[in-house]
Structure formats: C-alpha cells, structure tokens
C-alpha cells in the first residue's frame, strides 16, 4: 500500500461529512437568516399533535382571537417543543406552559412588540 493511498484512507476515516459554517476570517459569510423552528418529526404521535396544533392555529384561533400573553404563543411553543424534544417531553413542556398562561405578574424576561409588553419564554 503506497503512502498516497494510506494518507487518503486516513483522511476519509477521520473527516466529518456535511457542510460546516465558516469561521475565522470567513465568519462574515454566515447567513443571518436562521429558522427557529426545527423540521417536523416523523413519528405518528408527533405528526398527529402537529396536525391538531395546526387545526387550532388555523381554524379555532382566528375565530376566538389572540389571547396569549406569551411570545412565542402557547400553541407555537408546544409545536416547537414537540419538534425539538419529541412528543412526550414536548407535550409536557406545552402543558406546563398552558398552566402558566394567566394574567399574573411576570418577573422574568419580557419583550415589547408593537408597544405591547409580552412574557418572553422560548423553548430553548
């Protein structure tokens, strides 16, 4: 086995596949647009939950009107939690968030959007 083929073999064994963000002098090339929503999961429970949340968001919420004091809204929060952490942990996180959905004073982070003060509680 020649030195060239041995070095090629070592390089392929220890290299990482895929695209990696630029760093150092090329760090300015990173796109500033990133999505905070992970891709949908493939398991049946997560898929069903996402369809139910979409039904609530698209059909029920416009009729009822916006009532959430949080940003992201509770339905969006549960959707992101299910996509990030799986169905069971995301569902528990979403239910915990729904139990905190009230008019009580919020002592944690807040965010002002269009002159309205919202409770800021992202999933990460």
- pTM flag (> 0.95): no
Per-residue pLDDT of the chain (124 residues; tens, 9 = 90+): 576 666 666 555 555 555 555 556 666 666 555 555 567 778 899 999 999 999 998 988 888 877 888 888 889 999 999 999 999 999 999 999 889 888 888 888 888 888 888 888 777 6
What is the spatial distance between Cα 66 and Cα 87, in angstroms, rounded to a whole number?
Answer: 25
What is the spatial distance between Cα 56 and Cα 119, in angstroms, rounded to a whole number?
Answer: 21
Structural domain spans, the chain:
38-120
What is the spatial distance between Cα 56 and Cα 46, in angstroms, rounded to a whole number?
Answer: 15
């Amino acid at each position: 086995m020649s030195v060239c083929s041995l070095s090629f073999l070592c390089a392929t064994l220890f290299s990482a596949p895929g695209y990696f963000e630029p760093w150092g002098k090329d760090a300015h090339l990173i796109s500033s647009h990133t999505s905070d929503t992970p891709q949908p999961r493939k398991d049946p429970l997560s898929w069903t939950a996402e369809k139910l949340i979409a039904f609530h968001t698209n059909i029920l919420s416009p009729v009822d009107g916006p009532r959430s004091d949080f940003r992201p809204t509770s339905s969006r929060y549960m959707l992101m939690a299910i996509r990030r952490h799986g169905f069971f942990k995301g569902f528990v996180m979403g239910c915990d968030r729904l139990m905190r959905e009230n008019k009580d004073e919020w002592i944690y982070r807040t965010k002002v959007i269009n002159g309205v003060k919202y409770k800021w509680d992202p999933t990460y």
